[in-house]
Structure 1
Amino acid sequence: MRQQTPHLAVSRPPIVVLCGSTTYWDQLAEAALYETAAGRIVLSPGCNMNQPHPLWSDLKRADRLKAKLGELHLRKIDLADDVLVVNPDGYMGDSTRREIDYARSLGKPIRYTNPV
Structure 2
Amino acid sequence: MSDRPEIVCICGSTRFVDEMNAANRDLTFAGVIVVAPGVFPRAENHEADELITDEQKTALSALHLRKIDLADRVLVVNPGGYIGESTSREIAYAHATGKPISFTDTF
TM-score (norm 1): 0.83
Specify the alignment match of 1:80 in structure 2.
71
1:89 to 60, 69, 80: 80
* Runs (4+) off by over 4 Å: none
Specify the alignment match of 2:7 in structure 1.
15
| TM superposition shift of 1:64 | 1.2
| TM superposition shift of 1:110 | 0.4
Q: Find the aligned partners of 1:101 and 1:69 in 2 and give their Cα distance.
A: 17
Q: Find the aligned partners of 2:29 and 2:103 in 1 and give their Cα distance.
A: 18
| TM superposition shift of 1:57 | 5.0
Larger radius of gyration: 1
Between the two proteins, the alignment pairs up a number of residues equal to 104
Q: Is residue 62 from structure 1 mapped to residue 18 from structure 2 by the alignment?
A: no
Judge conservation of contact 1:56–1:65 (CA < 8 Å) in 2.
no
SS in structure 1 of the partner of residue 53 of structure 2: helix
- Relative contact order (C-alpha < 8 Å, sep 6+): which is higher? 2
SS in structure 1 of the partner of residue 9 of structure 2: strand
How well do the aligned residues superpose, as a CA RMSD in angstroms?
Answer: 1.8
Report the structure, 1 or 2, having the larger helix content: 2
Q: Find the aligned partners of 1:110 and 1:37 in 2 and give their Cα distance.
A: 20
Amino acid at match of 2:36: S
1:49 to 38, 41, 46: 41
TM-score (norm 2): 0.90
Specify the alignment match of 1:111 in structure 2.
102
Deviation string 1:63-99 (CA, Å, 9 cap, x unpaired) is 1111100000000000000000000000010000000
Identity score, percent: 50
